[in-house]
Amino acid sequence: MKKIFAFLSLLVVASMLLTACGGTTSSAFKVGQVTDLGGIDDKSFNASAWLGVENAQKELGVTGKYLESQGQSDYAKNIQQFLDEDTNLIVTVGFLLGVDTAKAALANPETKFAIVDYAYPDCWPGAAVGKDCGSDKEIANVLGLTFQTDQAAFLAGYLAAGMTKTGKVATYGGLNIPTVTIFMKGFEAGVKYYNQQKGTNVEVLGWNTAAADGVFAGNFESTDDGRSLAESFVQEGADIILPVAGPVGLGSAAVCKETGNCLVIGVDADWYETAAEYKDVVLTSVLKKINVAVYDAVKRAKDGTFKGGVATYTIKDGGVDIAPYHDFDSKVSAELKAEVEAAKKALIDGSLTVDGVLAK
């Protein structure tokens, strides 16, 4: 027994020495990504952001790493780990990291930060800075990456209105938060625009911008919730569903695939590729190109053009879009395709706006 312990202690000491001495002090530009609870393989935000880092590694010659958060207290700890490693740019994903990112950024002005789906100032009247919210003004070394996903969702809504056979389409969210409801709002607007153009009366289930309320799963995890939501929407007569709830939506896709009664519209990434098992029920996807935004942030940080503030990605710069129709290419009429394309152009040149349609 003694021998085993002696051997073990030797091993421990040796390994400590090895790492202590062999600390790599390469001068490469270092990028670190801190995920939220979804983990790096969430096929959503975190995965998409990491794709951006990976692309930057390939094309810009930076070194990238990620740290997964398993609980709330990991956010600050993971950021701290990257700070300890003198990371040049720290990318944090999601609103849950909002306060911790701001705190770290203010305490380490030399380090650059980019935060996905969040922006500063984020305080509301009466909120305590550094506790309730991150900062009451812009932070010079933090770039917020936000997306006009309503523009892309608008196109998806228009397409869905054109494709529905029952005259009803549906959407639901994970939580009632702006980054989610912006999809639903755009979707509703797209359907409304179609009705205005065609004089039809396609209904949207699951969201009402005027009431600012709709149907929510309450989480971003449970595929079972996705199943039951899809089933009830189908029962109410909807045949196209836009789930804005991460992996929850896969449950809805599964129902559509099994019953053949509905189609889904993917979100964030092109589900035709990322959720290929359901590709025959994926009409299109509302793309939120987090990877593009993250890549941009890395590029700016590296070449010195990084500036704090907010970078909003729109349909104009390609940061949001809808995915190709893939298998549905032959089923979408040329006329409808052209109309979607026209709407996209109008959104780009500003002659058409989501709010404008909703206001009518």
Binding site for another protein (CB under 8 A): 1, 4, 8, 11-12, 14-16, 18-20, 22, 32, 37, 65, 67-68, 70-74, 76-78, 80-82, 84-85, 95-96, 98-99, 107, 122, 124, 126-128, 131-133, 175-178, 216, 218-219
Q: 65 or 316: whose CB is closer to another protein?
A: 65
**If you ran DSSP here, which 8-state letter would residue 163 be given?**
H
On the 0-12 / 13-18 / 19+ scale of CB atoms within 10 A, 305 is: exposed
The minimum distance between CB 95 and another protein, in angstroms, equals 5
Instruction: Report, in Å, the least distance between residue 175 CB and another protein.
Output: 5
| Residue type present at position 120 | Y
Q: Looking at residue 133, what DSSP letter applies?
A: B
Whether the bond into 324 is cis, omega within 30 of 0:
no
Distance separating alpha carbons of residues 27 and 85, to the nearest angstrom: 12
Residue with Cβ nearer another protein (84 or 335): 84
Find the shortest distance in angstroms from Cβ 200 to another protein: 33
Least separation in angstroms between CB 124 and another protein = 5
- Reference 287, options 186, 200, 177; nearest CA is 186
> Shortest Cβ distance from residue 71 to another protein (Å)?
3
Complex with another protein: residue 146 or 285, whichever CB lies closer? 146
Task: Between 12 and 338, name the residue whose CB sits nearer to another protein.
Answer: 12
320 Cβ contact partners less than 8 Å away, ≥ 6 residues apart: 147, 148, 149, 151, 152, 286, 287, 288, 289, 313, 314
CB-wise, 13 or 342, nearer to another protein?
13
CA-to-CA distance for 89 and 7, rounded, in angstroms?
41
